[in-house]
Amino acid sequence: MKRTYTFLLALSMFLMHSHLQAQFGVRDVPMVSQKAMVMQRIGLTDITITYHRPAIKGRKVWQGMVPYNQGKPFPWRAGANQNTTIQFSQDVTIEGQPLKAGTYGLHMIPSKGEWVVIFSNNSTSWGSFTYKKAEDALRVKVTPVNVSESQEFLTYNFRDIQAGSAVCALEWEKKRIPIKMSIDLQSALKLVEQQLSTQAGWRWVGWFEAARFCLQNNIAIQKGVYWASRSVYMNVNFSNALVRAQLMAKLRKLNEVETKKQIPGLIEGVFNRYAAGWKAWDAAAQYMARQKNYQQALAWSQKSITLQPNFYNHWARVGIYTQMGDKVAANKARKKAIKVGTKAQINQQGMGFVWSGRPQKAVEFFEIAVAKYPKDGDVRDNLGDVYARIGQKDKAITTLKKALTLKQSTASRNNSLKWLKKLGVDYKTEK
């Protein structure tokens, strides 16, 4: 009795101190156990955990800082400072038991065997000091897992993430406390369908995303085919054509080998029926190259070029030949791409090599660009720039000097002067 009285007195003093601080003290100061937050979406359900992270600092954690006391006089707050909270945007299932959408205080009762995880309707208390069992929304039992690597700071992570489930795990010291969380995919499907009656249904991407949801979760396949078809009708492209083809394969119950064989024909049928443009054929060609179906990739790449030859589909063809290991064909395709490319397209690709640390690969682009645009100082500055970067000093100086005699943007001129100075040339004095 005396012990209980002492605890209540200490608690009342603590709460009074907190109240006075809130009234007269600094409202927000850094805490030793820093605040953290982790969020994971499962289907259309967002799960957010807000907590504070205590550190071990050489102390004993289990049956030390965190006692195994059957939850008496109160459970552990599963973190530090105020309530650890967990928020669900939609109804969920926790370890097989239903829990409504909302924000809950998260508490735990540790033990040597099973742990009790508590979801309390009270999410605004300071820790677990005023916890009341009557406020429980749900209690579940879980089994801790011992791990080899020690975790200094208490952490919440999401593991084993599936289409309709994930494991939320508290990890600290050498223990992991896993909590299985699941969603009802049928409920998520209804939410998706409801969204199609809003503005989402006025754009192809809305129907595409709905169809992809069916594909990824292997649910309502017939409906998914319909939604993908609506998307294709509104704006045929490779993304929605591929999803429709994959859903059709599932609807026909094809195995993996049969699916791989039929996907190209299903895509091509949609493209021909709805007169797909060069971008769709080009994207499909690159997809087939990733699947190592090079014959189909080259055929669709040529279809794209026939519809509208440009730098991008010619450059994609370079990538296909490169994957095939055909250096001769890749070199011919590269020269063709640069030849048909605009100044902006050539510069963009060339500078892409420069920015990625491969200036040597940019030389050919800018040499052909200079041949195409001999009176353009910006293009010549780019060539001089890459010459300087790869150590071809004489070529760089000659090219940069020539660039300064041509029409240039201010940025290009400043770049030419900067490089000449780095190369030891005082251009103003020399002139």
pLDDT 10s digits, 257-312: 999 999 999 999 999 999 999 999 999 999 999 999 999 999 999 999 999 999 99
pLDDT number for residue 426? 84
Q: Residues 105, 123: contact at Cβ < 8 Å? A: yes
Alpha-carbon span 393 to 400, nearest angstrom: 10
Torsion over CA: 422, 428, 429, 431 (sign): positive
Torsion over CA: 171, 172, 177, 183 (sign): negative
DSSP H helical segments within 96-235, as ranges? 185-195, 204-217, 221-234
pLDDT number for residue 191? 86
Alpha-carbon span 86 to 137, nearest angstrom: 12
Token representation of residue 347: 């510069």
| Contacts with 64 (C-beta within 8 Å, 6 or more apart), sequence order | none
pLDDT number for residue 34? 86
pLDDT number for residue 82? 85
pLDDT number for residue 144? 96
Q: Residues 65, 59: contact at Cβ < 8 Å? A: yes
The parts of the chain modelled with pLDDT lower than 50 are 1-12, 14-20, 22-29
Q: Residues 206, 175: contact at Cβ < 8 Å? A: no
Between CA 406 and CA 409, with CA 408 as vertex, the angle to 5 degrees is: 170
pLDDT number for residue 231? 96
The b-or-e profile of 91-118 (16+ CB within 10 A means b, else e) is ebebbeeebeeebbbbbbbbeeeebbbb
Token representation of residue 1: 């009795």
pLDDT number for residue 368? 83
**What is the phi/psi pair of residue 146, to 5°?**
-85, 135
pLDDT number for residue 431? 54
Fill in the DSSP letter of residue 142. E
**What is the phi/psi pair of residue 289, to 5°?**
-65, -40
Alpha-carbon span 154 to 246, nearest angstrom: 43
**What is the phi/psi pair of residue 112, to 5°?**
-70, -30
The model carries a pTM of: 0.65
Token representation of residue 302: 């040529």
